[in-house]
Amino acid sequence: MDNFYGDETPVAAFATPPGNSALTLIRCSGKDAIDMAVSVFSAPEKLKQAKGNTVLHGWIVAANEKIDEVLISVFHAPKSYTGEDSLDISCHGGPSAGRAVMETLKKSGFRDALPGEFTFRAFMNGKLDLTRSESVMELVSAKTDTGRRHAINRLSGALETEINNIKKLLVEVLSGAEIFLDYSEDEIGADAKADTGDEAAGRLPGQKLAREALVRLKKLAASWQRERIYQEGILAVIAGRPNAGKSSLFNALLREDRSIVTEIPGTTRDWIEAWVSIEGIPVRLADTAGLRESADPIEKIGVERSRKLLDEADLILYLIDGVEGITGEDRDFITINNEQNLLLIWNKADVAANTTGNNFAVLSVSAKTGEGIAELGRAIAATIETQADTAADKAHNLQTAALGSTRQKNLIEAACAALQESLRLAEQEEPLDIIAPLLREAVNSLGEITGEVSTADILEEMFSKFCVGK
């Protein structure tokens, strides 16, 4: 029978990949998980009687054969990550010991955990809502400290709290509307609309609360563009004429020698890339071949590949050779790419001061000595963040709730659209019986974000993208 999310069968999985390390951790969870592990532990009575949040030392055994010496951390339901009886088994590292322990556990009745199944069980047992469940995988895949802090903010419940607060406002508006639908205005009384806090309620009691909810929803929607950058990063391409110092700048930003640097123009024949954290933003940095016409067939291919990469770039770092100054080729490139996000960099500032005057806004650096590199990093971050900034979200604050996934963004936008339409109809004094369903739609969209409203298919699709062991 195929395994499926939602059963209570004890499961096991590597929480750390087996390999050359001091320890390998295997996580087990499920109904009767502790009783099942008793059959393969050298001190069965101690494990049976162990209190929660305690650690036991012993051996995993099979048919009187010692498999590995281990430490077992014991967790009793509901005080565990999953809300079930759970065990964390610390084995010796290396490719063999952990796998032997895992095989022993499976023979005793444990099955392989599905991707994300531990977090799925935590959600189903009320330990995490969906926003915090998603933040677990965000934390695992965070590329920078800033991305990690943003994920921790969601794991701590900031987004869940804000969504629940907005939903509370909408539920109050919806309940007021439904009261007016169920009873006549004469039965409710003349002061009923005044109790909603509206000076001019029109056809929708609680319009003031609905407008407040809409403002907060729009702020959340605006946060995704910035959060996406911290999660996924951006592609920044270093471009310029041959010998402008592109490879030297690449190495300076990486703080290591990755690109070959010589004084011979055309040394870089193809682009290379590496991930780097710039002011907390993950940047996929690419060093490209010098842009020029060439008769060399190999260099020509490199230049063509570089131009294709520039078309994909989120940010272009265009280097000007400070010794030669701005040439006609530089001016042509700047003119053609002036609508893209373009940072102009005056390189070799240690031997050639910036003489461009007011013609171009350039940053002066020396990729050779490191002069201006820190300032360049700040300028790169500022340019990237400006792309993500909107009127609704000019400055990110880690204390402010922000979205962490495309799924959340789509549902927030759906809630916004339904709420905006309900307010539009209310202003036109349309009947409440066509306004109330829109309010209910907005409430349900918010409930789907946290998991209060969900289906098995949606949950399986979401958790199947997690890594095994989480």
70 assigned to some structural domain: yes
133 assigned to some structural domain: no
CATH for 290: 3.40.50.300
149 assigned to some structural domain: no
Choose between 37 and 175: higher pLDDT. 37
CATH for 39: 3.30.1360.120
How many other β-carbons are positioned within 10 Å of the β-carbon of residue 275? Answer: 12
What is residue 117's predicted lDDT score, i.e. its pLDDT?
93
Same domain, 225 and 237: no
Same domain, 201 and 241: no
> What integer is the mean pLDDT of 359-366?
81
Q: Are 142 and 136 in contact (CB under 8 A)?
A: no
Residue 430 has pLDDT above 80, yes or no: yes
Task: Say how far apart CA 302 and CA 309 lie, in whole Å.
Answer: 11
Same domain, 31 and 103: yes
Task: Please state the φ and ψ torsions of residue 185, each to the nearest 5 degrees.
Answer: -60, -35
Q: How confident is the model at residue 225 (pLDDT cuts 50, 70, 90)?
A: confident
Q: How confident is the model at residue 254 (pLDDT cuts 50, 70, 90)?
A: confident
213 assigned to some structural domain: yes
467 assigned to some structural domain: no
CATH for 217: 1.20.120.430
Give the domain range for residue 433: 159-229+398-451
| Total-model pTM | 0.75
Residue 330 has pLDDT above 80, yes or no: yes
Q: Are 254 and 325 in contact (CB under 8 A)?
A: no
393 assigned to some structural domain: no
Domain boundary among 82, 109, 128: 128
For residue 219, what are the CA distances in angstroms to 215, 389, 402, 412? 6, 11, 9, 10
Same domain, 306 and 363: yes
Same domain, 210 and 86: no
Report CA Rg, the chain. Answer: 30
Same domain, 363 and 433: no
223 assigned to some structural domain: yes
| Number of domains, the chain | 3
Same domain, 274 and 338: yes
> What integer is the mean pLDDT of 102-120?
94
Same domain, 223 and 238: no
Task: Say how far apart CA 425 and CA 434 lie, in whole Å.
Answer: 8
Domain boundary among 81, 112, 128: 128
391 assigned to some structural domain: no
Mean pLDDT is lowest, of 34-38, 181-185, 381-385, 466-470, for 181-185
Task: Say how far apart CA 470 and CA 113 lie, in whole Å.
Answer: 9
Same domain, 222 and 239: no
And the tokens for 440?
Answer: 């209910």
> What integer is the mean pLDDT of 153-169?
94
Same domain, 249 and 337: yes
Same domain, 213 and 261: no
Same domain, 274 and 252: yes
Residue 391 has pLDDT above 50, yes or no: no
